[in-house]
Each structure stands twice: as structure tokens, then as C-alpha cells.
Amino acid sequence: MATETLLGSEAAQKEAGVYILLDRLAKGEGSVPEEFDLDSLKMVLTEAGANLEGSRATVESSLLREKYKNRRDGLVLVWGEGALAEFEDWAQEVSELTCPKFTNYGNESRSFGLKQMLAELTQVAIGGLAVEDFARRTAKRAKFGVAYARYKGAAADDEKARLHEEYKALKGKSDLSNIPPGATGAFSSALRSGSLRPV
């Protein structure tokens, strides 16, 4: 009995590492916690509806593409059309007021940051992307989102101009799209409840 409790405690601690990572990313921190465990990530995503047992080669080759519309094919294989469409709808809703339009190979959207976050997290789970690279990129997207929201929320023109310059300086030449403030935390909460789409 004590061994089962210990094993259960270790599993819970490793699972917590997934949420610690997502919570850090929500704050724009790109460090991977010691507690993070790839098997736990797979378990968390599976409980939220991911099918990670499919053809890894097919999924991975799709997710490695640059265009989201091409990555989407792999995401449908993992998440299913219905769940992915619900996530995309939520991503568009939450991004509409807080993210600039971003062009990805001719397609304009405000929600590419969240969509790419899901694609890259799925890539990590199937072994196609290092968690450190995912964390670094997602943390940058979150920082960009916070800076952009501050700029858009400024009331005074001089403050707005200053915050816009700060945003442009932070973003620099990065081609990463923004993640809206609070969206990574909402996504983490959805995964905790076994869902892909936050309510």
C-alpha cells in the first residue's frame, strides 16, 4: 500500500511538471521545470483527447511544416476534427481583441500564436521537438502578447505611442505570432479538466 501511494505521488508530481511548465510560459518564463516528464505530457494530452498512438511518421511530417494549414492535417490526426475546430474557434475568440493580425504564408489571422502553441506542444509529445525549444518560443509569444495588450489598452496617446515602441523593440525581427494574455493559463486549466478547449 505504501509503495502504491509513493508511485501515485511520483506520478502526480511528474504530471504537475506539465502544469508548472504551462504556468511559467503564461508568465513569459521559458525555463523547463525539473519536474517535467515527457511521459506525463503524453498522459495529460491523451486524457484531453489526443491520440498519440497513430502513425508517428505521418503526424510528425505534417507538424514539421511551416504553414499552419499544413500542420493542421497532423493535428486532426492527433486531436480529431471536432476537438481541433473547437480549439481553433476559442483561439480566434480570445485573440480577436488582444492580438494583431499576423500573416502566415498569405493567410491572415489573430490566433496563429495559440494554434502554433498547440502544434508545437503536440510535436513535443510525439518527440518531434525538444521541450526547451517549445518553452523558449512559447514564452516569447506570451511576452509579445502582454506587450501588445498593454499598448492597445493605453488610453493616452503619448502612453500608447511609448508602449507601441516598446512592443516593436521587444518583437524585433521575430516571426513568432502573439499569444493573448491569460490564454496559456486558460489552456492549462482546460487540460487539467481533460479538455482541449477552455470553457
In a domain, 61, yes or no: yes
> How many C-alpha atoms does 17 have within 13 Å on its Cβ side?
21
In a domain, 148, yes or no: yes
pLDDT at site 6: 37
In a domain, 88, yes or no: yes
In a domain, 183, yes or no: yes
Say whether 103 sits in a helix, a strand or coil: strand
Q: Residue 52 in contact with residue 126, Cβ under 8 Å?
A: yes
pLDDT at site 1: 46
In a domain, 79, yes or no: yes
| Residue 111 in this model has a pLDDT that exceeds 60 | yes
In a domain, 133, yes or no: yes
Closest CA to 117 of 178, 45, 59: 178
In a domain, 19, yes or no: yes
Q: Residue 52 in contact with residue 60, Cβ under 8 Å?
A: no
Q: Quick: pLDDT tens for 26-41.
A: 999 999 999 899 999 9
Output b/e per residue, 70-97; b: 16+ Cβ within 10 A: ebbebbbbbbeeebbebbbebbeebbee
In a domain, 198, yes or no: no
Range of the domain at 51: 2-192
pTM of the predicted structure, to 2 decimals: 0.85
Q: Quick: pLDDT tens for 131-156.
A: 999 999 999 999 988 888 888 888 88
Q: How many domains does the chain have?
A: 1
